[in-house]
Amino acid sequence: MKKVLARIGIGNATVDTVLPSDTVRAGETVDAEVRIEGGSTEQEIGKIRFELETRYRTEEGYREVDIAQYTLAESLTIQPDERETRSVSLDIPRGTPVTLGNVDVWVETELDIELAVDPEDKDYLNVQPTPRLQAVFDALDDLGFSLHSAECEADPHGVFTASRRFVQEFEFRPTSGPFAGELDELEVVPRPGEDALELHLEVDRRGGVLSELSDLDERTVQTTVRTTDASQVRDELESLIRANA
C-alpha cells in the first residue's frame, strides 16, 4: 500500500536544492547541493533534472520557458527516511533575464521516479546583470534615465534573436539630465555575448499628435558595448541618443 500511495505522491521522496545564495550573476557558475529525503517506501531515482526557467509575455498571455536544462545522471535507491546529498554545478547563461520589474527566474528540480509522481522543488533566483549590462545601467542612470519597466516579451519572428523565443526589454524614462523634456522614453533590448554586448535601442522622441499616431517620433538604432567602463559607455550612449533624438 505504501508503494501505491507513493506513486500518486503520498509518502513520496522529497527534494530540495540549496544554493549558497539566491543572488546569482548571468554568465557565472553556481555550486549547489541537492538534498533528497526518502519517503515511506524504497524508491528508485533514475535522474535528477534541473531546469532554469522564466516566463515571457505573448499576445495570448504569459508562457513559461526553459532557459537552460541540466541533468545529474546518477541513479540511486533512496530508502524510507534516508537522506542523501548530491553536489551540482549550474551554469547561468549570459542571456538569463535580469530579475527586475515583472521578471522572475527560478530553478526547478525534479526527481525522475518511474511509475510515480515526480517530486519537485522550485527556487527563485535574484539574477544580476553581466558587467557590461551593469555598465549600461550605470551610464543611463548618470544620463538621468530611470527604469520604468522590465519585461520578457515574445520574439516570434526572430527580430532580435534566432536562438530563443523571447527577449528582455527595459524601458527607461528621462527624469533629469540632458534628455529630460526631449524624450518620452528609451527602450533597450540587450543581447549579451562572450566578448560584447549588443544593444537594440528605440528612442522615443517627444512629438505632436500626428507623429505619435504614425510612430514618426520613434527611431531604432543598434550598437555594441565592449567595455565595462560606465563613463565610456555613457559618452557613447549620449552621442548615439542625441543623434537620434
Domains (range + CATH), the chain: 2-128 (2.60.40.640), 131-244 (no CATH)
> 14-18 and 29-37 as β-strands: parallel, antiparallel, unpaired?
antiparallel
Please, which residues have CB within 8 angstroms of residue 185's CB and are 6 or more apart in sequence? 148, 171, 172, 173, 174, 204
Higher pLDDT, 111 or 56: 56
Residue type, 147: L
Q: Does residue 155 contact residue 168 with C-beta atoms inside 8 Å?
A: no
Q: What is the CA radius of gyration of the chain?
A: 23
pLDDT value at residue 4: 35
What percent of the chain is predicted at pLDDT more than 70? 84
Interval 134-183: pLDDT, tens: 999 999 999 999 999 999 999 876 666 656 789 999 999 999 999 998 89
Q: How sure is the predictor about 47, in pLDDT bands with cuts at 50, 70 and 90?
A: confident
Q: How sure is the predictor about 37, in pLDDT bands with cuts at 50, 70 and 90?
A: confident
pLDDT value at residue 212: 41
> Average pLDDT in the 214-221 region?
66
Q: How sure is the predictor about 7, in pLDDT bands with cuts at 50, 70 and 90?
A: very low
Res 78 pLDDT > 90: no
Angle at 58 (CA atoms; ends 55, 59), nearest 5 degrees: 155
